[in-house]
Amino acid sequence: MRYFSKGNMGPNLNLIVAVCENMGIGFKGELPWKLKSEMAYFSKMTKGTKDPSKKNAVIMGRKTWESIPKKFKPLPDRINVVLSTNKIEVAEGVLLCSSLEGAVAQLRQPPFNSVIETVWVIGGSSLYKASMDLPECHRLYLTHIKAMFECDTFFPTISPSFKVVSDPNVPQEVQEENGIKYEYKVYEKETSQN
Ligand SMILES: NC(=O)c1ccc[n+]([C@@H]2O[C@H](COP(=O)([O-])OP(=O)(O)OC[C@H]3O[C@@H](n4cnc5c(N)ncnc54)[C@H](OP(=O)(O)O)[C@@H]3O)[C@@H](O)[C@H]2O)c1
């Protein structure tokens, strides 16, 4: 068994999510909590590239797209991709795709493949599950919120093939905001190579 980076096979595909103690991620179409610094971490991680000439893409489900306030979307400095089985209205410049595999394939082709460094899956539930199963899936950036919130949307079970790793860009110490403690964790999908 070896670990390897898929960097040489096109952009990495990572997931980023914040979960509370019951693995909840959402309630009534919104985030169940208000954590400004955690949101800033999300922006920093999904915008950041090693190569300053490149950009990242964010892929999200239609409900997650709808959950973002109008003034904040499309998410700036990132290629926004929205998944829906319907021809919904999205802002100019936003890619609308009807399947996750189709979206990933499109981003790995010209003109996107030469400008995209990382593809970030940013929710929701079914998209997280489907993307963890994709061979392109590399890492899961998960914020563990050490509190319980009422939720109606949950993060799927994390397969044991995801192992905790460290990332120098991710703070290791426990964070605290509005009296709520949380911790950033990074998991990498173990892949066997023969
Ligand atoms: N805590 C976090 O980090 C976090 C992150 C993201 C979202 N959230 C929260 O999670 C909730 C939204 O997530 P959700 O799971 O309910 O919905 P979602 O995944 O954002 O959206 C579901 C919709 O996306 C489309 N879709 C999903 N997978 C697709 C696929 N493979 N192919 C084509 N279309 C696909 C479908 O749209 P159509 O019905 O139009 O076909 C589906 O009904 C909100 O409460 C939000 O605030 C939390």
Q: What is the pLDDT of residue 192?
A: 61
* Count: domains in the chain: 1
3-state secondary structure of 181: strand
Q: Say yes or no to pLDDT of 186 above 70.
A: yes
Asked whether the beta carbons of 126 and 155 are under 8 A apart, the reply is no
Give a yes or no: residue 54 inside a domain. Answer: yes
For the chain, what is the mean pLDDT? 93
Task: List C-alpha distances in Å: 23 to 80, 130, 146.
Answer: 25, 17, 10
pLDDT value for 8: 43
Catalytic site positions: 31, 38
Question: 83 C-alpha to center of ligand 1: Å?
Answer: 8
In a domain, 155, yes or no: yes
Comparing 9 with 97, the larger pLDDT belongs to 97
44 alpha carbon – ligand 1 mean position (Å): 22
Query: Domain span at residue 69?
Result: 12-187
Q: Give the helix/strand (H/E) hosting 101.
A: helix 100-107
Instruction: Tell me the pLDDT tens digit for each residue of 147-165.
Output: 999 999 999 999 999 999 9
Residue 191 burial (CB < 10 Å; 0-12/13-18/19+)? middle
In this structure, the residues whose C-beta lies within 6 A of any atom of ligand 1 are 17-18, 25-26, 29-31, 60-64, 67, 83-86, 88, 98-100, 122-127, 130, 153
Examine residue 100 and state whether it is found in any structural domain, yes or no: yes
Distance 122 CA to ligand 1 centre (A): 9
Task: Name the helix (H) or strand (E) containing 180.
Answer: strand 180-189
Structural domain includes residue 41? yes
Q: In angstroms, what CA-CA distances link 67 with 8, 26, 88, 184?
A: 34, 10, 15, 23
pLDDT at 11: 82
- How far is Cα 5 from Cα 10, in angstroms, rounded to an integer? 10
Backbone angles phi, psi at 65, to 5 degrees: -55, -45
Q: What is the pLDDT of residues 116-138, one digit of tens each?
A: 999 999 999 999 999 999 999 99
pLDDT at residue 4 greater than cutoff 50: no
The per-residue pLDDT for 9 is 59
Residue 41 structure tokens:
């971490």
Residue 2 lies in a domain: no
How many Å lie between the centroid of ligand 1 and the Cα of residue 3?
30
**Calpha distance 39→179 (Å, rounded):** 16
Residue 6 in domain: no
Q: What pLDDT shows up at residue 158?
A: 97
**Which of 63, 68, 132, 152 is the pocket-test mutation for ligand 1 (most atoms within 8 Å of CB)?**
63
Closest ligand 1 atom, residue 97 Cα: 33
Ligand 1 atom showing the smallest separation from residue 24 Cα? 1
Write the CATH number for 118.
Answer: 3.40.430.10
pLDDT band at 193; cut points 50, 70, 90 = low
Residue 194 lies in a domain: no
Amino acid at 11: P
